[in-house]
Structure 1
């Protein structure tokens, strides 16, 4: 694909809290959460029906959608892990993301990506490849944001992802963590700032090294638990 066919990168507009393309044109993220196992995208796995996904994306673009938020894995089931075992990126999932980036590029749609589906990862932790009992880096769910080996695994995933897909303007931004929650850190919010800063700095350095620039890096917060006075048991 020639440079003229690539979508321009999105950046934060100077002096105002909004977005624009690298050419200075206003851009608004309009869209919703989606998942690779949900009906509109399920047929992309193993390339069962790429044409159906292509038609759906064309329909979204025609109705004003500009951005889709996805998790790099959606682990409600056992066959959509991005890594299995930890550090081994599954070819079927990598190809799925290659295809989805190409399709979104074709229709002028952008992606907001977050590295983990923390809801199902929490609920199905006994089966997740990051569980230390299965050879992963972290012993307990409550240590996700605290465990040094887990922190390195998160950085490794984001490094892989930006090297593979981060050079494209089809990527709007990285959502550094899905619904960051006190339960991910021993029911304490004190580590949030350090965790986000560390992950964000790592990803920015990787993108500058690989691409010479970096994408926006927000972090999604589960607000109600931040104002609760009681430990939150998810």
Structure 2
């Protein structure tokens, strides 16, 4: 089986600044990590490779040159190939433009399965995976919490949405988006980590991908952030005085009402 895993480098902080003119996040100088849901999708790919050792795993990310460090980290988990989609023309792309660019990159590879995280912690849109499936005209299952059965022709998976689990059977090739809440990600393999710096990273720019410039970057984006603001958090306190038993009962009432 040939698996493509889409990953994203995200800020390791909630204290982000926004470029007010472009409506995009300012990422320079911010520590980054692999998006947690994407790391869970990588674990799902590795679990399939545990069962079927002939499986190949290709990790693809779109981002700046600094994202190569994240791809080196991915090699530490035992992947077979890493691809960086990088071009200044891609800067400012919204989810639709991003998914178009990624789909153009994916078309250059053979695949049976495409895995992506359900959503990224810096945007929380949960749109890129489904949109990639749309661009490639593939079946998709979103919000997958586990892969139950793997065969050469289909998968059986469990998806979870609003506390309801649903068992699905989907034909290959397809796209799955993984939510990482219940996925236990393994530690990187020491020998693979040791060799990771020597591994090759394929870089794809728009000279190679030949994306339509009308569909990429800020100008090719269907959406743009109009305004950003910090929502004020209102906290109300209550001082409980008097008899200790009545005070305790009042606290119980407050907690019970909040839980309803």
TM over 0.5: no
The TM-score with structure 2 as length reference comes to: 0.23
Q: Greater relative contact order: 1 or 2 (C-alpha under 8 angstroms, separation 6 or more)?
A: 2
The TM-score with structure 1 as length reference comes to: 0.25
Between Structure 1 and Structure 2, which shows a larger proportion of helix residues?
A: 1
- For the pair shown, the structure with the greater C-alpha radius of gyration is 2
